[in-house]
Structure 1
Amino acid sequence: MTPYCKERPVLGHGNVDRIDIYREKAKRADDEFDEGPKSIYHAIAKFYERIFKDTNQQINVHRDFFQNLVDITFVNIIGHSMSELDLPYFQTVQLYSPEKTIWNTYYYDQDEQDSMKERLLSIGVMKEEIYMRDVKEFWD
């Protein structure tokens, strides 16, 4: 099977604050000569370092992709939580997409509708460009 992409995927974002927290805990344990917790905190910090993905770096690495969005007419968001960590990606899509791009946003839970819409508004998507749809519409 031939891979579609030669680059290895970068999974997850990680959290730089968690790395710092566990590095600090490991340092405190070391200062107190407490080897058990020190090695545990050190291992947790290393885990978070390995899964960390610098969002801005990823956007810059894939800038060509985003710059090629100038002719799109719609964006479909399906099965996505649209968390704070992901907003820079959506904001970059919004930045490079033309005015009047339709944002079809499919939600699983009706309670998510307002927060998803608010996140899109917060990155500059115009209210009239946002269409909130039940995910069942996508599968029909």
Structure 2
Amino acid sequence: MQPTKLYVIGNGFDLWHGIPSSYARFKEYVRQRDRDLFDAVDRYLPADEDWSDLESALADIDVDSIIDDLDQFMPSYSAEDWSDAGHHDFQYEVDLVVQRLSTELRARFGEWIRSLVIPTSGTATQHLRSIDANAAFLTFNYTSTLGDLYAVPDAHVLHIHGEARMQDSELILGHGWNPTQRRSLNDRPDIEDIDTRLMEAHDILDDYFSRTFKPSERLIREHQPFFDQLGAVETVHVLGHSLSDVDIPYVQALLRVPSVAAAHWYVACRSEQERSMKYGRLVTLGVDAQRAAAVLWSDYKQAQ
């Protein structure tokens, strides 16, 4: 039997249950364990004070500052202390920064996510009522909260960005700016006049954008059977998801399913002040205004 209810789960769901999964906590984790990575994020990514915009900030890496900061490794060929042995020093240093903000950042993120303690039904301080374990769950979280706390069967849950308890599962962290739609740093009118070392550094930085891109369309294709089984959905509950631009492709994929597009959508809000913004966001993303509603988290809360 196909599910009639769909839950779209975001990090706010885990935060509501007392899991310290905010990017601010990840920032502190990195600060304590990897100062080089911490400084690189702080220096080159506009991730906001609490790193709340970390994913989208990956697309806005400060290329100019990287090049300016590392310019000391690209001395003039006519310098007295020039040596052919230093021809790749600049590119090497640029690549170190790229490695930190791509491979190392994802590795630290995975370490941190897998260190989070997930409450059980016996240890959680608050619960949501009417969580239908027979529904379909599209979760953007990496944690096992749905299964541990609400006994939702694994078969009903799609961890679209990876699952932390599976050690071999890749945890997806990335921006939404498709690298094929951006211009190469070497696509410039004076390309024949610039230093070869700078050209090679540009290639490294171009590759960074590909390495940090969230491949949403590929993930949707790989998990198409999940979307195909949503043909009987009547209601959609968005719990803790920000509906940010970086995840728009997933919402669009859901709305391509006729029943989901015709369903009643409910998005949970933290306050009355947030209602109009969340409602407007649903409508902007393509949900029928007559079928969209913003409700408070307290409306979902289980009476104690």
Q: Same fold (TM over 0.5)?
A: yes
SS in 2 for 1:69: coil
Give, as a single letter, the amino acid of the residue that structure 1 aligns with 2:247: D
Corresponding residue number in structure 1 for 2:232: 71
Q: TM-score, normalised by structure 2?
A: 0.35
SS in 2 for 1:88: helix
Corresponding residue number in structure 2 for 1:5: none
Report which structure shows greater RCO (CA 8 Å, sep ≥6).
2
Q: Which is worse superposed, 124-133 or 110-119? A: 110-119
Corresponding residue number in structure 1 for 2:221: 60
RMSD over equivalenced CA pairs, Å: 3.1
* Cα deviation digits, residues 74-104 of structure 1 (max 9, x gap): 0011122221112221221122141530101
Aligned residues of 1:29 and 1:38 also touching (Cα < 8 A): no
Corresponding residue number in structure 2 for 1:45: 101
Corresponding residue number in structure 2 for 1:9: none
**1:48, 1:93 → 2: CA distance?**
32
Alpha-carbon offset, residue 49 of structure 1: 7.5
User: Which residue among 249, 254, 257 is the counterpart of 1:88?
Assistant: 249
Task: Compare CA radii of gyration and give the structure with the larger one.
Answer: 2
Corresponding residue number in structure 1 for 2:73: 33
Query: Mind listing any 5+ residue stretches in structure 2 that lack a counterpart?
Result: 1-53, 75-89, 107-172, 175-213
How many matched pairs? 126
Aligned residues of 1:75 and 1:102 also touching (Cα < 8 A): yes
**1:117, 1:68 → 2: CA distance?**
26
Aligned residues of 1:30 and 1:38 also touching (Cα < 8 A): yes
**1:111, 1:41 → 2: CA distance?**
40
Corresponding residue number in structure 1 for 2:296: 134
Give, as a single letter, the amino acid of the residue that structure 2 aligns with 1:63: Q
| Structure with more of its chain in helix, by fraction | 1
Q: TM-score, normalised by structure 1?
A: 0.69
Q: Which is worse superposed, 128-137 or 26-35? A: 26-35
User: Which residue among 258, 272, 286 is the counterpart of 1:110?
Assistant: 272
The percent of aligned pairs where both chains have the same amino acid is 20
Aligned residues of 1:22 and 1:45 also touching (Cα < 8 A): no
Change (3 A) 1:22 1:43: farther
